[in-house]
Structure 1
Amino acid sequence: MQSSSTLFPVALLSAERRGDLSEDVYRIKAGNSPDVSVELAVTRLGLADQGGAQGMPVILLHGSFSNRRFWYSPKGIGLGAYLARAGFDVWIPEMRGHGLSPRNRQWQDNCVADYARDDLPVIGAFVREQCGQAPHWVGHSLGGTTLAAALGGGYLEPGLVASVALFGTQISRVYWPLKVPPVAWGARAVLKRFAQLSGPRFKRGPEDEPIGLALESLRWHGLFGRFGVKGNDWWAGLAEVDVPLLAVAGAGDFQDPVWACRKLYEQLGGTRKQFLRLGREEGFEAFGHVDMLVSKAAQAQVWPLVEGWLRDPSAVVQGAEVVVQVPATQT
């Protein structure tokens, strides 16, 4: 599945066969960011014996303190591998400084605004160029937040988005102490002393996160904070977004609770959307923040739903099945 690009410099880092899957790793150097040292690694998964033709493209965005292995383990297990075996053309980017993506010179200042404005449009354009069609996007946690920012900010043009699935993604959880200016100022002063937050040290995941993300979050949750940047209100912009949407929340997710995920879902415009709660009342395990996508229960209960919805975003996802709505025959 090797390829090149006419859009910007792209290097093929490796092209390997991993059991029944092919794994090509590209490094994109678009030069569109204020920090021109930014390079992004994107892994492409497909069936090894399928040849050049691939199925529908799907881009999987990992969350904080994570990398491509959230979607695709070294043993070939994960939603990414599952979708590739189901015939999808799977693309897994790694954010700046994560996994195979090197740290840029100003890595400590990286934030969602950079990812949404500069990186996701480049990734989407590259995938569309290679596949000849708009990709579907699946984001988990911070990956979903970044995707929401790119949509609300108008950074992702409609031709780059076939559909969007958000897992454990919310903006609205309130941290009341941060509404008190002296507390917020103190927190900011402390955070600015560091360059990063350590995932391994705090047992949050295998990767570190730049302190810029934490400082950006302080701005969002401050007294007059909002989801956006100066001159661009991402939250307001979400109301103008009209794409097929699946928003999924875990009943046991205390980091990004159901009510907050639903509020983001309700803010997004359009009618081609649906919300799914993963709880016992709906016929699922009471999934938490990570195991909604990475667990044996998710493999049996959630992955088939994702596959079915990607094949037909107009399908109704409920319980443990996808119901395709067939219009009544006209007589």
Structure 2
Amino acid sequence: MQSSSSIFPVALMSAERRGDLVEDVYRLKPGNSPDPSVELALTRLGRVDAPEVRGQPVVLVHGSFSNRRFWYSPKGIGLGPYLARAGFDVWIAEMRGHGLSARNQRYRDNTVADYARYDLPAIAAFVKEQSGTVPHWLGHSLGGTTLAAALGGHYLGSDEAASVALFGSQVSRIYWPLKLPPVQWSGRLLLRSFEHVSGARFKRGPEDEPIGVALESLRWHGLFGRFGDRERNWWTGLADTEVPVLAVAAEGDHQDPPWACRLLLERFGSAQRRFLCLGRKQGFSEDFDHLRMLVSQSAQAEVWPLVSDWLQHRPVGEALPSTGQEALVVQG
């Protein structure tokens, strides 16, 4: 079968009509990581009435225990279809072992570092090739954290990201028991006996998470932990970022609270940094939570139009000053 890309092997898995939308699903095999078996599913949404018309490309990255259905329901409802109908060229990524992306041979060892270093750059290269321009990125929860890691590690830059929007993403919340070495050691010993953490069993979502991600999180939150891998300090690297960034928090989000989301944004060195908190105090109809900030009827009416405005004009939210920042010490 002929590849859909000149960069690396890409197969068109399906091309379907979904109501007023066209859905194309690609399987990317970039071969750029230590595990050559990695394959990534990437779904493109377009309009039936203009299938060849490509607006600004936007890549959506799901969070933990999730897949493309967070952005795009089988009935064609979600932020993905909304943006496609608004004329954007929408691409929905699924991380290794999630959704239509098959589990790779070293699935249990997958980490955010792998997603940031290998997978997001491959997706960026393919979307740029297909659309002819640099894409915007939107990430929810761990998806936003992965985007921050890619920017802080300098795996993505202004040549790969026109802008980045982070929804409910942070690395600053401290879990004090994990600072105790005995708790760290026992936790790592226990987790290493598993291949994955079950989303269904723990009622976190439809997907499993590889145990490598859990072990990585333990290391981030340890006594001398940092947001980074053994080679690079992503937290420090964020200060060099030039990509425009929007951080969206939810007043009712107890998992990734607004203060922590703002701290992550403040670390970016970008000249364009904006912060938006979704709550009654800010004029919204409710105190949104971690999921309802993007998946609810209220979000459809109040949040999705703001996302479109950011992608087109970037006037959304409170502007943060781009200079005069003090260094922040965060154990993420």
TM over 0.5: yes
The CA distance in 2 between the partners of 1:289 and 1:145, in whole Å, is 14
The CA distance in 2 between the partners of 1:261 and 1:11, in whole Å, is 37
Amino acid at match of 2:4: S
Counterpart for residue 288 of structure 1: 289
Counterpart for residue 122 of structure 2: 122
**Cα deviation code 1:122-143 (max 9, x no counterpart):** 0001001100000000000000
The CA distance in 2 between the partners of 1:281 and 1:157, in whole Å, is 34
The CA distance in 1 between the partners of 2:180 and 2:35, in whole Å, is 33
Give the C-alpha shift of residue 25 in structure 1: 0.1
Give the C-alpha shift of residue 157 in structure 1: 3.2
RMSD: 1.1
Q: Does 1:83 align with 2:83?
A: yes
The CA distance in 2 between the partners of 1:135 and 1:119, in whole Å, is 15
Written as runs of structure 1 = structure 2, the 5 A alignment for 1:158-173 is: 158-173=158-173
Amino acid at match of 2:219: R
The CA distance in 1 between the partners of 2:259 and 2:188, in whole Å, is 28
The CA distance in 1 between the partners of 2:3 and 2:45, in whole Å, is 13
Counterpart for residue 185 of structure 1: 185
Unaligned runs of at least 5 residues, structure 2: 319-332
**Cα deviation code 1:260-281 (max 9, x no counterpart):** 0010010011221110011101
> Are 2:253 and 2:290, in contact at CA under 8 Å, matched by a contact in 1?
yes
Counterpart for residue 132 of structure 1: 132
Counterpart for residue 200 of structure 1: 200
Q: Does 1:306 align with 2:307?
A: yes
Per the normalisation by structure 2, the TM-score is: 0.94
Give the C-alpha shift of residue 4 in structure 1: 1.8
Per the normalisation by structure 1, the TM-score is: 0.94
CA pair 244-187 structure 1, distance change in 2 beyond 3 A: same
Give the C-alpha shift of residue 99 in structure 1: 0.6
The CA distance in 1 between the partners of 2:51 and 2:148, in whole Å, is 34
Q: Does 1:74 align with 2:37?
A: no
Amino acid at match of 1:26: Y
Superposition misfits of 4+ residues, deviation over 2 angstroms: none
Give the C-alpha shift of residue 83 in structure 1: 0.3
The CA distance in 2 between the partners of 1:36 and 1:195, in whole Å, is 19
The CA distance in 1 between the partners of 2:3 and 2:36, in whole Å, is 23
Aligned positions, number: 316
The CA distance in 1 between the partners of 2:130 and 2:146, in whole Å, is 23
Counterpart for residue 235 of structure 1: 235
Give the C-alpha shift of residue 156 in structure 1: 1.0
Give the C-alpha shift of residue 3 in structure 1: 8.6
> Are 1:3 and 1:130, in contact at CA under 8 Å, matched by a contact in 2?
no
The CA distance in 1 between the partners of 2:3 and 2:302, in whole Å, is 35
Counterpart for residue 266 of structure 1: 266
CA pair 109-3 structure 1, distance change in 2 beyond 3 A: closer
**Cα deviation code 1:46-72 (max 9, x no counterpart):** 101203121100000000000000000
**Cα deviation code 1:151-197 (max 9, x no counterpart):** 00001132111000000000010000111101110111111111100
Counterpart for residue 18 of structure 1: 18
The CA distance in 1 between the partners of 2:308 and 2:300, in whole Å, is 11
**Cα deviation code 1:210-238 (max 9, x no counterpart):** 00000000110000000111231000000
> Are 2:150 and 2:156, in contact at CA under 8 Å, matched by a contact in 1?
yes
Secondary structure class of the residue paired with 2:177: helix
Counterpart for residue 41 of structure 1: 41
CA pair 211-311 structure 1, distance change in 2 beyond 3 A: same
Identity of aligned residues (%): 69
> Are 1:309 and 1:317, in contact at CA under 8 Å, matched by a contact in 2?
no
Amino acid at match of 1:175: Y
Counterpart for residue 257 of structure 1: 257
Give the C-alpha shift of residue 316 in structure 1: 3.6
Secondary structure class of the residue paired with 1:229: coil
Secondary structure class of the residue paired with 1:12: strand
Amino acid at match of 1:159: D
Amino acid at match of 2:309: G
Unaligned runs of at least 5 residues, structure 1: 319-331
> Are 2:157 and 2:243, in contact at CA under 8 Å, matched by a contact in 1?
no
Counterpart for residue 330 of structure 2: none
Secondary structure class of the residue paired with 2:14: strand
